[in-house]
Chains A and B, each alone.
Chain A
Amino acid sequence: MVPILLSVISASSQKKQGEFEAEALPHMDILYNFALRTTGNENDARDLLQETYLKAYRFWDKYEKGTNIRAWLFRIMKNSYINRYRKESREPDTVDYDDVENFYDSIRSQAADTNDLQQRMFGGLLGDEVTRALQELPDDFRTVVILCDIEGLSYEEIAEFLDCPIGTVRSRLHRGRKMLQAKLFDYAKSKGVIAHD
């Protein structure tokens, strides 16, 4: 009888494991990428990814089948990140956007289009500097920028991920991009890529 019971338990565990892997593992890339861009390094991203999947497996019974699993996994990762790094969402930094606008005014007539404009404003910056500026954004704003501009999610899905209205996503994205630009502008000035005032 014991072997029968054991085999029943084992079959049930295997079913759960199989279901979990089939549903959750295909979303590994999007989660890893978010973890990497949020923590800023591969080791922390790996730890955060593992913690997320372990918690997801432990709470698999709580997952409501047929709902958006990507959003469910993402919320686990976001909470794990806050707990692990003790970072609560903080108020956005005050940014001086006037400098950016003034610089735009001074070069706009020379730029052929927005690609050229981008090149003239931030063409001298490296990917690492853009990544650093992104990581310096407050959590709420960085999250929507990563999800929209790197992961390519729709506003609707981001709203579902964050459990907030689409209007909030739109507004955070707008403000996040402004903050990012102000930081990039400061980097570009300090590097001498664009002229000091």
Chain B
Amino acid sequence: MDCREAQHYFGTALDGSLTLSRRTAFFEHLGRCKKCLKLFELESVAKGIVSRMVSFVPTPVAIRHSLLQTLRREYQTTSSPWVRNLLRPLFSLPVVLAGAIAIAAFVLLLPTNPPESGPAIHAASNDLINKTLNNLQRIRDGRLKPAMVSCFPEGVAGYFEKKGVAFALHIIPMDNCDWYGAISEDYAGVSPVHIIYKVGDDYIYVCEVPLTAADEGATFSLPPAARASLVRTGWYTDVHHPPCSVVLWTTNGTLCSAASTMQQDKFVSLFAAR
């Protein structure tokens, strides 16, 4: 390897992704060439100082919330011109007629597929979204109480650690959380983790299970739309259960299902970038 080639691979070597043979040749060259060694070490210093001193900053909750509100306003403004035009007397008759013909043609030509989303898809008795909503209701009624309560997320994490939970937990620290609650249970050979966040007048309930427990035919079922979205993006929102909202996401081999009566924008913003 000559100097030109060695310098070409500086970045790859710093990332540790050189192949074994190239890595050997690269470091042999550095052993021989002081100039390249110097340049390589200086580049390593530059990379190190940026990585160490300029940290990755996650989106602050307030900015996430504000962005979601902006989007909601955008959704309304972009759909309202259609609505306004449709309701104008001058436009309504031709639009209605054209619409009726188009819908009739569409309906006649449309193959009958099962619905992809909606309340009917939650019919399975082990549906995780239904269970999440039911548990939220039981918490609100006082029928389901946390086994332990802590002012800090670490307290809840410690509780589950003592219980020997065998999968990665996802406990979200929240600035305005009054308390965190924990419940553990055995369910069909799985040990789902239940976390309650009390935020002002609202409860957020999160059920966490190993991702494998929601595989096809496993302990929990998911609606097809949720499964598809989780596979594609690791994220799913279900808005078919007002006044509750449901958010599902996957992280580190864990499936989290959260429900709350909190205002939808605010609730989703807590989890949007997880």
Complex partner residue of A57 from B47, B56, B71, B82, CB under 8 angstroms: B71
- B60 lies within 8 A of chain A by Cβ: yes
Contact A46 B63 (CB under 8 A): yes
Give Cα A69 to B92, complex, Å: 38
Among candidates B63, B235, B239, residue contacting A42 with C-beta atoms closer than 8 Å? B63
Instruction: Identify the closest chain B residue to A129 (Cβ).
Output: B53
Kindly identify, within residues 24 to 68 of chain A, every residue whose CB is under 8 Å from any CB belonging to chain B: 25-29, 32-33, 36-37, 42, 45-46, 49-50, 53-54, 57-58
- Shortest distance from the beta carbon of A95 to any chain B beta carbon, whole Å: 12
- Given that A22-B233, A174-B11 are contacting pairs, would A6 and B58 also be in contact in the complex, using a CB cutoff of 8 Å? no
Q: List CB contacts (< 8 Å) of A7-25 with chain B.
A: 8-10, 13, 17-18, 21-23, 25
Which chain A residue shows the least CB distance to B52?
A118
The interface stretch among B96-104, B141-149, B199-207 is B96-104
Docked-complex contact A173 and B233, CB < 8 angstroms: no
Chain B neighbourhood of A150, CB < 8 A: 50-51, 54-56
Known: A2-B96, A9-B82. A25 touches B235 (CB 8 A): yes
What's the dominant secondary structure at chain B's contact region? Answer: helix
Residues of B participating in the A interface, judged by any CB pair closer than 8 Å: 7-8, 10-12, 15, 38, 41-60, 63-64, 66-67, 70-71, 74-75, 78-79, 82-83, 86-87, 92, 95-96, 99-100, 103, 229, 232-237, 239, 268, 272-274
Q: How far is the CB of A48 from chain B (nearest CB, A)?
A: 11
| A170 lies within 8 A of B51 (CB) | no
Closest A-chain residue to B62, C-beta based? A46
Nearest Cβ distance between residue A93 and chain B, in whole angstroms?
A: 16
Query: Which listed residue (A9, A117, A149) contacts B83, Cβ 8 A?
Result: A9
| A window 89-111: CB within 8 A of B | 100-101, 104-105, 108
Kindly provide the distance from the CB of B87 to the nearest chain A CB, expressed in whole angstroms: 7
Q: Which 3 A-B pairs have the closest CB atoms?
A: A177-B46, A28-B273, A32-B59
| Complex Cα–Cα for A141 and B72 (A) | 36
Are B59 and A29 in contact, with the CB atoms below 8 A?
A: yes
Closest to B46 in A: A177
A76 in the interface (beta carbon within 8 A): no
A58 to B78, Cβ gap below 8 A? yes
Q: How far is the CA of A23 from the CA of B48 in the complex (A)?
A: 33
Residues of A within 8 A of B71 (CB): 21, 53-54, 57
B95 contact set on A, CB distance < 8 A: 5
Min CB distance A71 to B, Å, is 15
Contact A13 B38 (CB under 8 A): no
Nearest-CB residue, chain A, relative to B238: A18
From B7, B43, B74, A177 is in contact (CB under 8 Å) with B43
- Across the interface, B53 reaches (CB within 8 A) one of A10, A127, A148, A181, namely A127
CA distance A108 to B86 in the complex (A): 76
Chain A nearest Cβ from B116, distance in angstroms: 9
Q: Interface readout for A109-122 with B: 1 if CB under 8 Å, 0 if not?
A: 00000110110011
Query: Out of A27, A104, A134, A155, which one reaches B41, CB within 8 Å?
Result: A104
Residue of A nearest to B9 (CB): A170
Question: B47 contacts which chain A residues (CB < 8 A)?
Answer: 148-149, 177
CB distance from A15 to the nearest CB of B (A): 9
- The chain A residue sitting closest to B8, CB to CB, is A170
Pair A121/B67 contact, Cβ less than 8 Å: no
A13 to B75, CA, bound (A): 8
Q: A22-B233, A127-B54, A130-B49 are in contact. List 9 more A-B contacts (CB 8 A).
A: A2-B96, A21-B237, A33-B56, A104-B42, A108-B41, A118-B52, A150-B55, A152-B56, A177-B46
Whether B10 lies near A100 (C-beta < 8 A) is: no
- Known contacts A25-B272, A28-B59, A53-B67, A9 near B79 by CB under 8 Å: yes
Is the CB–CB distance between A114 and B41 below 8 Å?
Answer: yes
Contact string against B for A residues 147-183, beta-carbon threshold 8 Å, 1 for contact and 0 otherwise: 0111110110000000000000010011001101100
| Cα separation A152 to B17 with both chains bound (whole Å) | 13
